Amino acid sequence: MRPPALILALGFPLLAGGEELKSGVPGAELARSKCLLCHEAGHIVRLRQSRAAWEDTVDLMIRRGAPISPEERGIILDYLTAHYGENGPAGPR
């Protein structure tokens, strides 16, 4: 293995930036515990979309295996729409 591989294998993230899901607000704990199970926050924080579009996204995640109950779905949708809604502040791009 070439030296860079060794260094990387020790656990340096490949992506700089380390985008985070907004914490310390209602629903944040739940959203972070569910939505970061399979992937990093970048997929989510990149987006600004309507509640309807977030519904589509979250339902897709449920079909892709996300363990989210109907009650949890509502809380997470409130959180996503509040912080990553279509009129929210511009995201990293």
Site track for another protein across 9-48, x = CB under 8 A: x-xxxxx----x-----------xx--xxxxx-xx--xx-
DSSP 76-93: HHHHHHHHHSTTSPP---
Q: Which long-range contacts (CB under 8 A, 24 or more apart) does 58-64 make?
A: 61/35, 64/38
Work out whether 8 is an interface residue with another protein (CB under 8 A): yes
Work out whether 76 is an interface residue with ligand HEC (CB under 6 A): yes
Work out whether 81 is an interface residue with ligand HEC (CB under 6 A): no
> Minimum distance from CB of 13 to another protein (Å)?
5
Q: Which long-range contacts (CB under 8 A, 24 or more apart) does 23-26 make?
A: 25/79, 25/82, 25/83, 26/75, 26/78, 26/79, 26/82
- Name which of ligand HEC, another protein, none residue 76 binds, using a CB cut-off of 5 to 8 Å depending on partner kind: ligand HEC
Residues of this chain that bind ligand HEC (CB under 6 A): 34-35, 37-39, 43-44, 47, 57-58, 61, 64-66, 68, 76, 80
